[in-house]
Amino acid sequence: MEQFFRFWFFLAIFSLQVFCSEALQEAKSPGDIIIGGLFPIHETCFNLFTRFSVARLAQSLMMVRAIEEINQSGELGNITLGYHIVDSCGDITTALRNTLPFMKINGEHSQDIILMAVIGDYYSEISVAVTRQLNLEKIPEISYGSTSGLLSDKTRFPSFLRTVPEDDHQAKAVIEILKDHNWNWVGIVATDGEYGRYAVERLRHHAERHDICFAYIKFLPEFLVDNNLKDSINEAVKSITENTNVSVIVSFTKPNHMMYIFDNVLKHHRGRNKVWIASDTWSQSVNCLDTTRWNLKDVGTIFGITLKSGNTSRFEQFLRNLDNRPDLYQNNSFLSDFLNGTVSGSNTSLDTKITQLINMIYPYAVFSIELAVKAIAEAVKDLCINQECDIATLQPEKVPNFYLDGKKYSFDKKSNLNSGYDIVLWRYNSPNTLDMNYEVGHYHIEQGSITFIRSEIMRSRCSTCYPGEWKVRKAGQPICCYECKKCPVNYYSADKDASLCLACENTTHYSFEGSQNCTKKRIDYLEWDDVYHIVLLAFAALGVLLTLVVAVIFLARWNTPVVRSSVGPIAILLLLSLLSTFGSVVFFGGQPKDWQCQTRQVLFGLSFTLSVSCILVRSFRIIMAFEFDPVTQGILEKLYKPYLIIPLCMAGQVLICTVWLAYRPPVFQEDSKSFVKLLLLKCHENLFPAFGAMLAYIGFLAIICFILAFKGRKLPECYNESKFITFSMLIYIITWIIFGPVYMNVTGKYNSAIEMAVILISAYSVLFCLFFTKCYIILFKAEENTVNVFRNTVRNFSMGKDRNLDKNYPRFTKNNSLVALNKKINKVYRIVSRINISQHEIIII
């Protein structure tokens, strides 16, 4: 069985060689040292499918011109360079057969002629086979276009060099283009060979690190004679047209493959207006697009990655002089066939044919081929001048540095020349002239970066999250396909396709749902120029003024019955406490600070406790003065110690405030949670039980005052201060009961304003009820502010009490009532005298 297969294999090879014998052509020029050339001048060796490539013919002539230039410069002394160029036909078998003569040159051990190296081939899969064959005779191969990374393996390909970078760098350049345009959902089309497979593998490797995904990867047969080519083309076209959200296709194929793809894709409307990223194999190939059927607008946009370009002017001049160089193409069957019209489609004038050659100049090829010839010439200098040439001593890693157009070049340790890439954009110079050499960027291998002229093309993404959103991966989907969710409140994303939302600065910034940035919060507090604050401060200032006015009036009328009935010293103490209460309101506004937060509550608590304590003493004195039951009055007289009661009442509040300040005092706080847009500066009570205890203590004293005053509500009109005490305490209790829930539920800067208003209401209720009525009598009813009026009022009130007593107890006589009245008046005098008031005055508290 094995022999059977071997027989048919050799039979097929033999048949192929016989069939291709007519296509075997060459170009020769004699010299002391020969440089071989291997170019795919025909696309295939089969006559049925033969396609002559004007561009590859031009590339072979680039080698010819570079060698002639070396010879004319005389830099090699008496040594002249010759060439022997053959056609690879883009086919491995043909290339191997046609390079056999190169091996014979050195194999015959001729001392007169030496084959120093072979320049070519353009395709990587051909170079892989040819370099192995040439290495049998230690002949180096220097490629001007084979970019497969496999050829960098010096263990497997020790005699291979190239004047172009390997495809790993080209894959990086493609990824940089995709990144630069924010494309992450692309299609891949490549040839199924060393070149295409390696390029796709490197694309995958680099794409994973940049979240770039491939919607599909389609491989096409390497050779055009493959029976599966048509089916593979149709399958690739189907993927391109059906994936409507894939607008970018990366292609590592040959020009003829792209010609077939374009012819089929452009038939479908959905296959048009795409972005194509062309590898160096077809990025400057005009044959890809049949301009008789389609134009660039149908295709869309084509970015091309090309090898570094050189100066084409010298080569253009060389081509223009071809009609004056008949000797040049006499030994060049490729050129002769083209100029003589033997090649299909070349039956035109000589000038037209030369123009065709000029139009097929690829600047990168001029540069790469000239570098290859220069490198060989430098090796000849090093090995053959002043000594006998020994090709066996030429090692790729020992090729010396060389210069081209004044710039120094050298091969790296993998025998690659990393010159970088140019990025071109296909465009029309005129309505009918397609320019494929328009440079729009450069890729620098050393930096691994691209310098690109930006242009908005189109989007090609599986998913796109815009600023204000973040990516949520879909289970079972590629990394480029995801859902987008809006950033929550106080989070943001400023970039497209953010992996997560960033948190705003909690205390100083905010954002709404789906925000692209954070906005600085407006600092808010009860400012001095706030209208409500101004109104409250105005009332506080008015309260201070009125308190001072009352104090002045009382001091001016110190010895009058109204003032004396108010227990003068305690009245002044009460006025001082009200003054302090009004003053405490000032500390509730403005930008808060720790000391201010602690001062305002403590100052109010102590000052108003003093006020209520003074009122409590006066309420107690009212009950004691008009209590006619001897037993009860005796008890009250013993308990009535005004200057001891007030300090004792104050002591309880001082204890509460001390514990509060010592344990957890009120502090300044930045409240960033209550409001989205505001940073509220406020005082935090910190220990609400202590705050509540302070208010409850004042309330407790106020309730006692209210009870005592309520008992004396039926006293004589001119003494009936207890009614006003009852009313003021009732106002205080109701106000602070309402304050509690309001204060706990209201947020914002006006929280402090609420307490300010309640404090002012409490202070004004005391000031109005206890002092304004007395001031009114002092200022406007002086006739009632006399001892006789007060004495008559007490007498009338006492007689009324006695009449009620006689009705209830008939055994009492009129004389008994008069006796009781005198006793009552004497008791009042006695109480008055104990508080150091003249016994000639009748006083009511």
Return the pLDDT at 18.
43
Counting beta carbons within 10 angstroms of the beta carbon of residue 821, is it exposed (0 to 12), middle (13 to 18) or buried (19 or more)? middle
Q: Please, what sign has the CA dihedral across residues 107, 108, 110, 113?
A: negative
Average pLDDT on 710-726 reads 65
Return the pLDDT at 534.
92
Return the pLDDT at 561.
73
Confidence tier at 625 by pLDDT (50, 70, 90)? low
Return the pLDDT at 460.
67
Confidence tier at 616 by pLDDT (50, 70, 90)? confident
When the pLDDT of each residue in the chain is averaged and rounded to a whole number, the result is 81
Return the pLDDT at 753.
87
Return the pLDDT at 559.
76
Instruction: Quote the crossing angle between the two packed helices 814-834 and 787-808, to the nearest 10°.
Output: 140
**Ordered alpha helix ranges (H), 511-670:** 531-556, 561-565, 568-584, 594-625, 630-639, 642-663
Q: Decide if 761 contacts 581 (C-beta within 8 A).
A: no
Average pLDDT on 669-692 reads 83
> Mean pLDDT lowest for which of 96-100, 367-371, 525-529, 711-715?
711-715
Whether the per-residue pLDDT at 570 is higher than 70: the answer is: yes
pTM summary value: 0.57
Whether the per-residue pLDDT at 723 is higher than 50: the answer is: yes
Question: Phi and psi of 214, rounded to 5°?
Answer: -110, 120
Give the helix/strand (H/E) hosting 472.
strand 469-473
Return the pLDDT at 713.
57
> Mean pLDDT lowest for which of 92-96, 568-572, 638-642, 839-843?
839-843
In terms of pLDDT, which residue wins out, 536 or 285? 536
Whether the per-residue pLDDT at 810 is higher than 90: the answer is: no
Whether the per-residue pLDDT at 642 is higher than 90: the answer is: no
Confidence tier at 813 by pLDDT (50, 70, 90)? very low
Confidence tier at 226 by pLDDT (50, 70, 90)? confident
Candidates 129, 442, 552; CA nearest to 143 is 129
Q: Determine what percent of the chain is predicted with pLDDT higher than 90.
A: 24
Q: Decide if 115 contacts 391 (C-beta within 8 A).
A: yes
In terms of pLDDT, which residue wins out, 471 or 6? 471
**Mind giving me the DSSP string for 415-464?**
SB----EEEEE-EEEETTEEE---EEEEEETTTTEEEE---------S--
Return the pLDDT at 590.
87
* 491 vs 505: CA distance, rounded Å: 9
Return the pLDDT at 492.
93
Whether the per-residue pLDDT at 528 is higher than 80: the answer is: yes
pLDDT of 261-275, one tens digit each? 998 998 888 888 889
Whether the per-residue pLDDT at 564 is higher than 60: the answer is: yes
> Mean pLDDT lowest for which of 61-75, 202-216, 654-668, 714-728?
714-728
Confidence tier at 186 by pLDDT (50, 70, 90)? very high
Confidence tier at 96 by pLDDT (50, 70, 90)? very high
In terms of pLDDT, which residue wins out, 127 or 50? 127
- Residues shown for the chain: 845
pLDDT of 117-133, one tens digit each? 999 898 888 999 999 99
Domains of the chain: 23-165+362-416 (3.40.50.2300), 531-795 (1.20.1070.10)
